[in-house]
Amino acid sequence: MEFGLCIEMALTHLPFEQRLAKAAEIGFKNVEMWLVGDNYKGTPEHLAEVAAKAGVRVTNTVIGPPDGSIGGGLTNPARREDWLARARMTFDFNKRANIPATIVCTGNTVDGMSDAEMEHSVLDGLKATVDLAEKEGITLLLEPLNLPYDHKGYWLDSSDRGADLVRRIGSKHFRLLFDCYHMQIMEGDLVNHIRRNLDTIGHFHSAGVPGRFEHYNGEINYPFLIAEIEKMGYTGIFGLEYQPSIKDQEASVRNVLKHLTV
């Protein structure tokens, strides 16, 4: 298992491109970004060059924001063409930037639709998106999120339901993103949820609970959790997607990495 750093939340005192080199200097081989065309303004080819020069891999992007405000999300069938256009644009960026995966968020619940209707829409949208991803060689990472604090109204709030959707689609290019921060808030019992759904998990996110701050401040025992995940045989990326709580962000990131690797 390798660690990755989300440079959209940490090292933000630096210009975007400089964050890659700083992350590598601290000890990361992997970094991740969010929406294409948001904080990074350059070409995908330039990003690939910057990453190669820094000695890191950009592991993933994000197709659209969790609430579906860009691209319409998956819950709303009326916005399907908007979603697929956004997905195609993201896949093109990923391929040109040598980024192997992108995160899929379902969008929020839609007024006037039942849960069953929204699930049907999500599945139809996922099937169409996975078909595109398979042709482009991109892996999709489906992410459940927490409702009380960060993503009120979001449709997919359960890792078990997310894993079920992954199994129903049945593609090697479609995996679950298990965010320990979000799922501690929604479900708890992290080890057992991970163990029974490990066959579907392609990526992890993490942060301290409560607050989404450093991993050594909070109710999750991350060194124990990471050891258990490694015992299960997981060999992918364990991403650090957290907000430094101190002014010296570099010190924060170094301290978190040290805490997780002792």
Asked if pLDDT for residue 262 goes beyond 80, the answer is no
Q: What are phi and psi of 94, to 5 degrees?
A: -60, -45
Query: Coil, strand, or helix at residue 240?
Result: strand
In order of 57, 184, 227, 228, 230, the CA distances from 191 in angstroms are: 28, 10, 10, 7, 11
Which pLDDT tens digit goes with each residue over 209-241? 999 999 999 999 999 999 999 999 999 999 999
Cα(54)–Cα(60) distance, integer angstroms? 17
Q: Strands 2-6 and 30-32: what pairing?
A: parallel
Q: Is the separation of the CB atoms in 166 and 142 below 8 Å?
A: yes
AA identity, residue 175: R
Cα(29)–Cα(22) distance, integer angstroms? 11
Helix/strand/coil percent split, the chain, to 5: 45, 15, 40
Q: What is the mean pLDDT of the chain?
A: 98
Asked if pLDDT for residue 77 goes beyond 90, the answer is yes
Q: What are phi and psi of 87, to 5 degrees?
A: -65, -45
Cα(110)–Cα(134) distance, integer angstroms? 28
Among residues 194, 211, 116, 191, which one has the least CA distance to residue 160? 194
Write down the architecture of domain 2-261 according to CATH. Alpha-Beta Barrel (3.20)
Which pLDDT tens digit goes with each residue over 139-183? 999 999 999 999 999 999 999 999 999 999 999 999 999 999 999
Task: Please state the pTM of the whole predicted model.
Answer: 0.97
Q: What is the pLDDT of residue 199?
A: 98
Domain ranges of the chain: 2-261
Q: What percent of the chain has pLDDT over 70?
A: 100
Q: What is the pLDDT of residue 213?
A: 98
Q: What percent of the chain has pLDDT over 90?
A: 100
Residue spans of alpha helices (H) in the chain: 16-26, 44-54, 80-97, 115-136, 159-169, 180-186, 190-197, 222-231, 249-261
**Peptide bond connecting 210 to the previous residue in cis, omega within 30 degrees of 0:** yes
Task: Extract the tokens encoding 215.
Answer: 């991993």
